[in-house]
Structure 1
Amino acid sequence: MSEELKAELLDVALEAARRAGALLRDGRPADLAVAATKSSPIDVVTEMDIAAEKLITDILAERRPADGLLGEEGADSPGTSGVRWVIDPLDGTVNYLYGLPGWGVSIAAEFGGETVVGVVAAPMRGETYHAVLGGGAWSGPARLACRAAAPLDQALVATGFAYVQTRRAHQAEVAARIIPLVRDVRRAGSAALDLCDVAAGRLDGYWERGLNPWDLAAGDLIAREAGALTGGRPGRPASGELVLAASPAVFASLQPLLEEAGAWHD
């Protein structure tokens, strides 16, 4: 892939994320309500999720009509260009529903099955994170870098919980095994922002089971380009089975503990 094409994809992703973020920030109705549910009655979709995905897909259709699409709210087309966009128009929907600031817009571009561009806009933080494969990770003009090496007992890590009750129960058991071994555990409610916080050095690590491609595609690239390691079970890539992103030293310590705790199964 040429540098010119990477730059074009980044420009498109930044524009789409900026406009969708502004729509979500400025257009949130005071009486926002649940429009639909997904995996369980507490796994919700709002009208603004749907509106933001439509805005993004309209931009992509105008600027990159031959590209494929995979979006959380239903966009799915193969395209003919070899580029596929993986979109989460509102990551952290429950936070957004409750008026909490921990939500973002996640847009990634893949080429040949590999993520080459990732953008995560966090409008309530006033920050947009981005990365191009091989080009580092950035927040505006500032280059991001994961935290320096720290022993596990001094690591601040984050996790997330599914909206399916049986899975949540096991995830709580895993977290209970990890909490005594680390500085503390955070649960913020947005996988995309957790991955960017690893990239920005605000967290030493993050793990979660049950993510979808749109939850992690952009944030995974941003974390890796900031020097973090990402993966799943030992020897496997990050996937719905398990996602782990951390500074190298914390990754090396935390991955076998998650394996032993069974973080990769329900």
Structure 2
Amino acid sequence: MRAPDPTTVPIEDRAALEALAVDLAQAAGALVLDERPDRTVVHHTKSTDLDVVTVMDTRSERLLRDRIAAVRPDDGILGEEDGHTSGSSGLTWVLDPIDGTVNYLYDLPAYAVSVAVVVGDPTVPGAWASVAGSVVNPRTGETFSAHAGGGARLATRGPGGPRHTADLAVSGAADLEGLLVATGFSYDREARVRQAATVAHLLPRVRDIRRMGAAALDLCHVAAGRVDAYYERGVSAWDVAAGVLLVTEAGGRVSGASPDSPPSGALVVAGGPAAHRALLEALAGA
């Protein structure tokens, strides 16, 4: 299956969609940060008892949906909490209202709001491509963003200070033994047994492994060269739609289990071109 071409959207529209994604992600990020209760409680669970949802997840997605409906009523929306709403424009917004909900529960500073807009069908692996997107970490004040063909950026702002923007570029690391690799684990306990075996296979062969608990941020860290590569099984489109674009626009590669397969719930592998290739080969041996 050939993914649709995001550059069929005019370049000026792609840039405007990036700006809108930034505004949306920052607004939702401010909500989840400023109104986080002192003691955050689980609202309900989803796939397993480990897959938690907080009240703020649902409030954040509602804010995003309401704002998109107000300014782009013809676009579709796919959100982690409220599912898929079809549109007529050919564009669909893909939303993760809090990526890293368990970190949010424990007040660990590694959670984010991820907002992307795609062409094609984001419910089918390989049938969509990101046009623009943004990932905001409200605890660090970092805003990652990109649009297709326009590069990837990181905007930061300290307390009371001016915002600084820098272009992103992936790491040039090439050898497997020198790679710092990020990964994540499933909420399914049986799947974790298999994932632990993969980690046991990789750990002696790479520089080290990091598990930070938010797939969108892991991909941002690849784009920024903070880690050399990333892999994970069990992710959904809302986890990666913005991050995949950030990595590719920063000069990296993202795929599934083979170089030409699309990222999917079966596997996502990302990195600089050489790191991506080395990690793919190592995972094949696992």
User: TM-score, normalized by length of structure 2?
Assistant: 0.89
RMSD between aligned residues: 0.9
1:230 and 1:185 map into 2 onto residues whose CA distance is 18
Give 1:260's aligned amino acid.
G
User: 1:204 aligned to 2:228?
Assistant: yes
Any idea what the Cα deviations from partners look like across 1:190-231, whole Å, max 9, x if unmatched? 000000000000000000000001001100110111011110
> What residue identity is the alignment partner of 1:243?
V
- Report matched runs for 1:1-266 at 5 Å: 1-112=9-120, 113-140=128-155, 141-234=165-258, 235-261=260-286
Shift of 1:77: 0.8
Identity of aligned residues (%): 49
How many residues of Structure 1 are paired with residues of Structure 2 in the alignment?
A: 261
Q: CA–CA distance in 2 between the matches of 1:173 and 1:130?
A: 34
Counterpart AA for 1:99: D
Aligned mates of 2:172, 2:80 — CA distance in 1:
34
Where 1:167 maps in the other structure, the secondary structure is: helix
Q: Which residues of structure 1 form unaligned runs of 5+?
A: 262-266
Aligned residues of 1:13 and 1:107 also touching (Cα < 8 A): yes
Distance 1:76 1:149 in 2: 38
Letter in 1 for 2:179: A
- Between the aligned partners of 1:257 and 1:155, the Cα distance in structure 2 is 11
Question: Is the partner of 1:149 in helix, strand or coil?
Answer: coil
> Which one is further off, 33-42 or 252-261?
252-261
* TM-score normalized with structure 1 length: 0.96
Distance, in Å, in 1 between the alignment partners of 2:16 and 2:276 is 33
Runs of 4+ residues over 2 Å off in structure 1: none
Q: C-alpha separation between the residues in 2 aligned to 1:17 and 1:99?
A: 19
Deviation at 1:4, TM superposition (A): 2.6
Q: CA contact under 8 A between 1:12 and 1:63: conserved in structure 2?
A: no
| Stretch of structure 1 that moved more, 49-58 or 146-155 | 146-155
Please give the alpha-carbon distance, in whole angstroms, between the structure 1 residues aligned to 2:210 and 2:284: 20
Q: Spell out, residue by residue over 1:4-40, the C-alpha distance to the aligned partner (whole angstroms, 9 max, x if none).
A: 3212211221111011000111100112100010110
**SS across alignment from 2:227:** coil
Q: Which runs of 5+ in 2 are unaligned?
A: 1-8, 121-127, 156-164
Q: Distance in 2 between matches of 1:18 and 1:66?
A: 22
* Matching residue's letter, 2:185: F
Provide the C-alpha distance between the structure 1 equivalents of 2:39 and 2:221, rounded to a whole number of angstroms: 30
Distance 1:114 1:199 in 2: 17
